[in-house]
Amino acid sequence: MKEKGRTIMIGLDGVPYRLLNDLAQKGVMPNVRRIIADGFFRPLASTIPEVSSVAWSSIITGKNPGEHGIFGFTDIPPHTYRLSFPNFNSLKAEPFWHGNEGRAVIMNVPSTFPAKEMNGVHISGFVSLDLMRSVYPQSLLPQLKAMNYQIDVDSAKAHKSMQLFLKNLEQTLEARINVYQYLWEREKWQTFMLVFTGTDRLMHFLWDAYEDESHRYHADFVKHFCRIDDEIGMMLSQLKPNDSFLLMSDHGFERLDKNVYVNAVLRQAGFLCIPGDSDSNFGQLNEKTCAFSLDPARIYIHKKDKYPRGRIKKNEIEKLIQEIAAVFQSLEIDGKPVCKRIYRKEEIYSGPYSADAPDLVLIGNEGINFHSSLKATTVHDRGIFTGKHTHYDAFLLVKDWAGTDTFCHNLDVGQILDIVNYLKVGKVNIHEKEYA
């Protein structure tokens, strides 16, 4: 049992268990390798859907989306057709640091914009609309500007030139490192949470460079992880005996073979009745539409009592859900089924906000990346990205694990806080969750 130790939680956005293990064993991440040797290292399931806004919201609250109310980067509030962008104000459960006794530094956690008053320092992660509202306390703003702090990598650069993107990725990482070191040394803190988010951007654009050692950007890919490992080593060297150190990711990654457009499939099957072109928007949803989808693959029934022009009555919902599920179940591209799993909301969400949840969520098969752009004119294509998110391959790595292993099977990202708590007080309630 540990007392008075500090807690350090370091996030690596999107980094899969397998990749971290591979880079550790190859010597690219020697400090991570050291932690693995005596630590607790497990694959974790992400949230459904496996996107950062949902998964980090579960990590920082310990709740499922039915309890914290974040189901994606976008939403359409009931009784409207307005595409909204949930942010930190939309989070319906408390992040752990609001109930924390000591001071905390919370840096670059996705979907925590705008920054809120707290006992400590908070710098929001993506999606953040401006740096000004991303910083608490505001007195830190001049320092951040002086250090050229950027919340996110400018991914638009990758569409022009991969070299420009890599340069921006490196500058963003270096500024993030400078700022975290500044806060680490100057602030008094009991909890330090920092998320490195450039990893997700890098893997989207250059997953192929990871897999192919002869790829012209392979060395750049490896260098990014090597640089992060250096900083992990720096943190390890400054730990005190009772400190807890955890590394984690919010979802996994793998090679992307095909983008599959969910709304285009719904349109082709006659469930969605608006044209797919560059002007398409959700305001055009008409009485003929039975269902529509929001990114990445959240399907909503166009219910009569939920949407202004909704037509599906309560007694028609079940049959429709079965018909839509059957369409995606049988959908194949190049002879391969596109869906690994199709979840109904009752299977995956519980809590007071479950009514806002999508009716169906699709999990893509290997290589299949779902999108829900209304503008897509084809069912599938092959875009600029070479990597895509996965549900089953996030990770948790805890340094110096002396705990029991028995409760630690089939973990998901929503249970990381239970482990943090276990490290602090030697008690855990995972049993109840796991067998509930």
Give the footprint of Zn ion on this chain (CB under 5 A). Answer: 200
Nearest residue (beta carbon) to Zn ion? 200
Beta bridge partners of 254: 388
Whose Cβ is closer to Zn ion: residue 295's or residue 316's? 295
Minimum gap (Å) between residue 35 Cβ and Zn ion: 24
User: Mind giving me the DSSP string for 393-410?
Assistant: -EEEEETT--S-STT-SS
Closer CB to Zn ion, 200 or 220, in the complex: 200
Cβ-proximal residues to 142 (8 Å cutoff; 6+ apart), any chain: none
The rounded distance, in Å, linking the Cα atoms of 355 and 367 is 31
Distances 135 to 116, 182, 396 between C-alpha atoms, Å:
8, 15, 28
How many CA atoms lie less than 13 Å away from 57 in the CB half-sphere? 31
The least distance separating Zn ion from the CB of residue 256, rounded to whole angstroms, comes to 11
Nearer to Zn ion, 200 or 393 (CB): 200
- Compute the least distance from the CB of residue 77 to Zn ion, in Å: 25
Cβ neighbors of 250 (< 8 A, separation 6 or more) are 11, 13, 14, 46, 47, 52, 55, 56, 59, 110, 394, 413
Closest CA to 307 of 103, 79, 99, 121: 79
DSSP secondary structure, 230-282, as one string? HHHHHHHHT--TT-EEEEE-SSEEEE--EEEEHHHHHHHTTS--S--STT--G
Q: CB of residue 251 vs Zn ion: minimum separation in angstroms?
A: 8
Phi and psi dihedrals of 53, rounded to 5?
A: -60, -40
CB closer to Zn ion out of 200 and 254? 200
| Cβ distance to Zn ion smaller for residue 200 or 418 | 200
Which CB sits closer to Zn ion, 200 or 359?
Answer: 200
> Please, what is the angle between helix 17-25 and helix 218-237, to 10°?
80
Shortest CB 208 distance to Zn ion, Å: 16
Rounded to the nearest whole angstrom, what is the least distance from the CB of residue 311 to Zn ion in the complex?
Answer: 35
C-alpha dihedral, 237 to 180 to 413 to 292, nearest 10°:
-160
Identity of the residue, 258 or 303, whose beta carbon is nearer to Zn ion in the bound complex: 258
In the bound complex, what is the minimum distance in angstroms from residue 221's beta carbon to Zn ion?
15
